[in-house]
A and B are shown apart, each in its own frame.
Chain A
Amino acid sequence: MIEVVLNDRLGKKVRVKCNEDDTIGDLKKLVAAQTGTRADKIRIQKWYNVYKDHITLQDYEIHDGMGLELYYN
């Protein structure tokens, strides 16, 4: 179980607990459950790399405590 921090630089900072083998799509659903936006409106990036929905956190080498950028579609 890892905990990922998502920050949208506009005041929304969210800590989400998830498994390493969850996909980005699952992570978006968890973030949506916590923030209240819709899951398909969320875009998760790291610098200019937009993370795709079907790839797992493990494959993106997202570790515990890592910060991701939260943007909106």
Chain B
Amino acid sequence: MANRTDPTAKNIHGTNPQNLVEKILRSKIYQNTYWKEQCFGLTAETLVDKAMELDHVGGTFGGNRRPTPFMCLVMKMLQIQPEKDIVVEFIKNEDYKYVRVLGAFYLRLTGTDTDVYQYLEPLYNDYRKLRQKLADGRFALTHVDEVIDELLTKDYSCDIAMPRIKKRWTLESIGTLEPRRSALEDDFEEEEDKEDDDQIMIDSEPDAREKDHYRGRSPARDRDRDRKRDSHRQYRERDYDRDRDHDHDRDRGRGRDRDRGRERERDRDRYRLRDDRDHGRERGRERERDDRESDRRDRDRCRRRSYSRSRSRSRSRDRKERGGDRDHRKRHGRSSASPRKHEDENGNVREESKKKKQKKPKEDGTDHPDPEIAEANRIRASLGMKPLK
């Protein structure tokens, strides 16, 4: 019916083009009044007229997340799938900025990597103001180049998940794209010498930052990343400080992507390292008593398995394992099993009382004795919230 994609439309990213918008948002758009009234039977030409009437960009807003007309028009474009030259015309037109942004958005959703960078980067020079509708219904001020930056660097915009495109430096290293020439390059020619000092400072900054992140990584990965960064720096030597706004934003964007990935890795590493530390602390007492390598290894395996699950379960499992260890020891004829038994129980009791004394968050609470609370505080800190009380 009216909501079916044009039968002659091609598959985008391996799926029906309308499926680029996720199900809940899609149903909301189909039920929207603007869609039903204005977007019925639109063709590419009449779509232009509707696009010229747009006066704000945005995703969904309000308590029940109503879609904006911008969203509805994006959906319509996905449905009728206009030709690429029409979309490029949308982008190239100078008069109507919302038509431009609409075309850019559609191209970001459906175009190939090279196309995306090729057609969207000239829009970085468009500094016109845009009205953006926020999620709570208010309007905010933004600019065309800010929106384009969001499209190129982030993977989520206007409540639609953007398809993944390769990073710019990947395409540059493959050779499908030339290094980015900023429009402000010529203006900064005379400041090249002055920027050399700044360049040294800026170069050392990212190194210091990255050194912290590299703690848990293998040297091979370090080498690869350094090589990539160096080659990237070779290309962009001139541009590095020239257009500091744009480059810095994109560097930061890329750095942000990398940081996000690295942060996730770092968190994973840290969690694993912290687990190992906990293991070391609590098994230290038992290690003194027991010098058997194999027993330690067995307990390592058992303990690690148990600690990977919830705390309460692991406690009971520990006790069962300690009982099993006791039998194991008896079976292997080790002397003085009974004093060890007492120590074992005391050790157990000591641990439990320590755990009960918890609930005292320190600073941001990530070094809390109870691992569940410490984990929760870590998540809260990463989200910018205060620790648990």
Contacts and interface: CB of A to CB of B under 8 A. Distances in A.
A29 B373 CA distance: 17
A63 to B, nearest CB: 15
B389 A33 contact: no
B65 interface: yes
Interface size class of A (residues with CB under 8 A): 10 to 19
Interface size class of B (residues with CB under 8 A): 20 to 34
Given A40-B135, A73-B24, A1 B388 contact: yes
Nearest to A26: B385
A72 interface: yes
Interface in A31-63: 33-34, 38, 40-41, 50, 52-53
A17 B135 contact: no
B303 interface: no
B110 to A, nearest CB: 22
User: Mostly helix, strand, loop or mixed at chain A's interface?
Assistant: mixed
Contacts of B63: 50, 52
Given A17-B376, A50-B63, A73-B60, A29 B385 contact: yes
A33 B156 contact: no
A22 B385 contact: yes
A34 B383 CA distance: 12
B386 A17 contact: no
B388 A19 contact: yes
A18 B379 contact: no
A68 interface: no
B380 interface: yes
A29 B382 CA distance: 11
A73 B382 CA distance: 24
Contact of A38 (B65, B156, B383): B156
Contacts of A73: 24, 60, 65
A22 B383 CA distance: 12
A14 interface: no
Contacts of B388: 1, 17-19
A49 to B, nearest CB: 11
B356 to A, nearest CB: 15
A44 B359 CA distance: 28
Given A40-B135, A73-B65, A19 B386 contact: yes
Nearest to B373: A17
A19 B389 contact: yes
A41 B359 CA distance: 32
A73 B61 CA distance: 11
Nearest to B63: A50
22 contacts: A1-B359, A1-B389, A17-B372, A17-B373, A17-B388, A19-B386, A19-B389, A22-B385, A26-B383, A26-B385, A30-B379, A33-B382, A34-B379, A38-B156, A40-B135, A41-B24, A50-B63, A52-B63, A53-B136, A72-B24, A73-B24, A73-B65
Given A29-B385, A40-B135, A53-B136, 5 more contacts: A1-B359, A19-B389, A29-B383, A30-B380, A50-B63
Shortest 6 CB-CB contacts between residues of A and residues of B: A1-B388, A73-B65, A17-B376, A29-B383, A33-B379, A19-B389
